[in-house]
Amino acid sequence: MLSKSLVIFVGIGVIAGLGYGIFLIDVKNTSQLVYVEGPGISILTEKFDFKKGEEINIIIKNTGTVPITFSDKSYGLRITGLSGILMYTPTSAQVISELKPNEEVELSWDQIKNDGDVTLEGLYKISTKGFDPMGKKVERSTTVTIWK
């Protein structure tokens, strides 16, 4: 016969594991490429899990039917920790950039933060923000994990 406390702790562990699994499914946005009618943008990476120091290639693709404009040549790329602290934005010229429907641009990140430090292991959010022809904001993000 199992003790009452053992059954309770195992039950709590199963429920906590299920909850964490559902959280990771939400956080690890696995549907990267989504085509839409009107304004749409997607962020693609070749995989979701990267080794520490491995270069991360990022594709920003216009998956809508209208052009998307960006305020600079970095195409609105931002990499943050899940807490929202900015880790990296590429240095770029402050000129208006545009992605026509189905066009894409490839950028890369060597896992070096803007301050020159190497990133630590953990989850990172890669996001982009542009504007449709009516001036409305178009945003998309995905999450990657950096392992040791």
Shared domain for 132 and 80, answered yes or no, is yes
Shared domain for 19 and 78, answered yes or no, is no
Shared domain for 39 and 103, answered yes or no, is yes
Interior angle at CA 68, CA 25 and CA 77, nearest 5: 55
Shared domain for 43 and 108, answered yes or no, is yes
Closest alpha carbon to 45 in 37, 55, 34? 55
Query: pTM (2 decimals)?
Result: 0.77
Alpha carbons within 13 A on the beta-carbon side of 2: 8
CA distance 19 to 17: 5
Instruction: Please state the domain count of the chain.
Output: 2
Shared domain for 44 and 12, answered yes or no, is no
Shared domain for 96 and 62, answered yes or no, is yes
Q: What is the pLDDT along the chain (148 residues), one digit of tens a residue?
A: 678 888 888 889 888 887 777 666 555 545 567 788 999 999 999 999 999 999 999 999 999 999 999 988 999 999 999 888 999 999 877 889 999 999 999 999 999 999 999 999 999 999 999 999 999 999 999 999 999 8
Query: Pseudo-torsion of CA 67, 33, 84, 81, nearest 10°?
Result: -130
Shared domain for 3 and 55, answered yes or no, is no
Whether the CA torsion 17, 148, 83, 48 is positive or negative: it is: negative
Q: Tokens 């240095």 — which residue?
A: 91
Residues 6+ apart with CB under 8 A from 39: 64, 66, 68, 132, 136, 138
Shared domain for 74 and 129, answered yes or no, is yes
Token pair of 6 as six digits:
């053992």
Please report, for the domain that includes residue 95, its CATH number: 2.60.40.3880
Q: Which domain holds residue 22?
A: 1-30
Q: Helix, strand or coil for residue 101?
A: coil
Shared domain for 106 and 131, answered yes or no, is yes
Shared domain for 8 and 49, answered yes or no, is no
Shared domain for 38 and 22, answered yes or no, is no
